[in-house]
Amino acid sequence: MPITPTYPGVYIEEIPSGVRTITGVATSITAFIGRAWRGSVNDPITINSYGDYERIFGGLWVESSMSYAVRDFYLNGGSQAIIVRLHNGATPARLDLPTGATAPNDLLHLVAANEGEWGNNLKAAVDHETKDKDEDFPDISLFNLTIFDANGATEKFLNVSINEANSRYLPKVLEQTSALVRVDKIADFPNVRPSVTPVNTPIPATGGGTNGNPLTELDFTGFGKENNKEGLYALKKTDLFNLLCIPPHVLEGDIESGLITSAASYCDERRAMLLIDPPSDWTNKDAAKTGIGTGVGTTSKNAAIFFPRLRQANLLRDNQIETFVPCGAVAGIFARTDAQRGVWKAPAGLEATLNGVPALSVSLTDAENGELNPLGINCLRSFPGVGRVVWGSRTLQGADRLASEWKYIPVRRLTLFLEESLYRGTQWVVFEPNDEPLWAQIRLNIGAFMNNLFRQGAFQGKSPREAYFVKCDKETTTQNDIDRGIVNIIVGFAPLKPAEFVIIKFQQIAGNIVT
């Protein structure tokens, strides 16, 4: 703050340095959208382990290919995921306390906190061991509610009330603190104490919980979904995600090409990448070549496809070997590579091993891989002594005939990382005086960020001058731009590209002739 001198003497003034640190965003937060056994619907939930998924969404479920994909994500090094549960016609279970049908017994009706058959396993009990039970005039609306879940979870709510004026009004308490139940309705008998049900004989749910039908494209992108932030667009409620996986609606099934188109378009908007699973009818190399030729729903530079599918034991079907989609495992390898090497390293090669994958649905040879790679299909391979690995790193614009600058996944992901980081890291510039002092600060802050990445090995070049540049001055921002309130910043960088083809040349040399 400028000092206004008023008396003779020495004044101290602190001058801001103008340094505003730009922090790189996360690079491997993976969003999964699909069915789950339980959990809130159309609500993005962040998890940090598969244990979190089991606790919140119920773990593996034979009707949810997403549950297996999330498991594979964490088996292969995934860290943070965002789960969006959807359903098609599922209903919540009911718990009527107590079971009598006439007043005053027909008093408290509960429902499971979210839809699904899981709620049919709930039990509830009421008791009156309240805080004022021994007083001469106890509050007749108070009681204790206990909810039991079949998986062992128990929730107990003490001194709750059916009186709306009470601070422990039951509907509000359950809405804010219970993961198991909600109040469906309270009959109009506020001055009648609920009938006592001993805790040791809890009343089971009366049923009604159903899982609904397999999802369809309309459950993701149907009418009103985008405006209501539902389905695919529930991700609008979350700040950032980098990878998107939409496993098939049923095990060994497929998702609609129209859904892939919508998902790819949304990923373009959010600066994220879509990991596409190979269709179930890609059962050999020729089918894959034909399929990629007819199209998979998008050719976005922010999308990539991986072939073939995985062969794994299904724990819920007596360990029978079945076919599963690879998107979750591949996303885990993306996360693992980012943590170990950086987003500029291709998530492929001998280090990119597929953990928990004993076999692949199609075994590819070098020659077959050589036919698919130039078409932009990333192959999963099996090598002796190494196991199953990701052996390709191209986007859907990676076909040789397209000659796209966004051919490689690490180049595209590094660009998305830079765009998102600089977008967030330059918000302070808005409404600042648009002149050379501002431009100098911009060059300083972005330059420091880019130089740090250069030192980590993110760019080509032996020196910063060869690796990147940041330009913001009177040449990039003219007087006409200033008059329109615009400041132009140009950032360039030399990306690292993966060594796809290692060529070793051998030559015989003639022995020296001694004379």
Asked if the structure places residue 47 within a domain, the reply is: yes
Q: Read out DSSP for 300-323?
A: -TTEEEEES-EEEEEGGGTTEEEE
Whether 167 and 269 map to the same domain: the answer is: no
Mean pLDDT for all residues in the chain: 91
Residue 100: predicted pLDDT: 37
Whether 256 and 346 map to the same domain: the answer is: yes
To which residue do tokens 């911009």 refer? 442
| Rounded average pLDDT over 183-203 | 57
Cβ–Cβ under 8 Å, residues 170 and 142: no
Residue 510: predicted pLDDT: 73
Whether 227 and 175 map to the same domain: the answer is: no
Whether 167 and 145 map to the same domain: the answer is: yes
Inform me whether the pLDDT recorded for 199 exceeds 60.
Answer: no
Asked if the structure places residue 417 within a domain, the reply is: no
Whether 165 and 222 map to the same domain: the answer is: no
Of 165, 184, 204, the domain-final residue: 204
Asked if the structure places residue 144 within a domain, the reply is: yes
Residue 119: predicted pLDDT: 93
Asked if the structure places residue 6 within a domain, the reply is: no
Distance CA 230, CA 477 (A): 41
Residue 92: is the preceding peptide bond cis (ω within 30°)?
no
Looking only at the bridges linking them, the beta strands covering 273-276 and 303-307 are: parallel
Segments forming the whole domain that contains residue 449 = 443-515
Inform me whether the pLDDT recorded for 128 exceeds 90.
Answer: no
Whether 45 and 144 map to the same domain: the answer is: no
Asked if the structure places residue 273 within a domain, the reply is: yes
Whether 363 and 315 map to the same domain: the answer is: yes
User: DSSP character for 62?
Assistant: T
Of 204, 233, 266, the domain-final residue: 204
Asked if the structure places residue 21 within a domain, the reply is: no
Of 139, 174, 204, the domain-final residue: 204
Whether 123 and 61 map to the same domain: the answer is: no
pLDDT tens digit sequence for 334-363: 999 999 999 999 999 999 999 999 999 999
Return the CATH number at 200: 2.60.40.4290
Asked if the structure places residue 364 within a domain, the reply is: yes
Residue 513: predicted pLDDT: 63
Whether 108 and 83 map to the same domain: the answer is: no
Return the CATH number at 289: 3.40.50.11780
Inform me whether the pLDDT recorded for 489 exceeds 70.
Answer: yes
Distance CA 153, CA 90 (A): 22
Distance CA 462, CA 190 (A): 78
| Rounded average pLDDT over 484-494 | 96
Q: What residue ranges in 28-179 does DSSP mark as E strands? A: 30-34, 45-47, 81-85, 94-97, 108-112, 123-127, 142-148, 154-161
User: DSSP character for 384?
Assistant: T
Inform me whether the pLDDT recorded for 191 exceeds 50.
Answer: no
Whether 484 and 512 map to the same domain: the answer is: yes
Asked if the structure places residue 405 within a domain, the reply is: yes
| Rounded average pLDDT over 65-75 | 98
Phi, psi of 409, rounded to the nearest 5 degrees? -60, -45
Q: How would residue 150 be classed by pLDDT, with cut points 50, 70 and 90? A: confident
Whether 254 and 186 map to the same domain: the answer is: no
Number of domains forming the structure of the chain: 3
pLDDT tens digit sequence for 355-409: 999 999 999 999 999 999 999 999 999 999 999 999 999 999 999 999 999 999 9
Whether 481 and 389 map to the same domain: the answer is: no
Cβ–Cβ under 8 Å, residues 328 and 247: yes
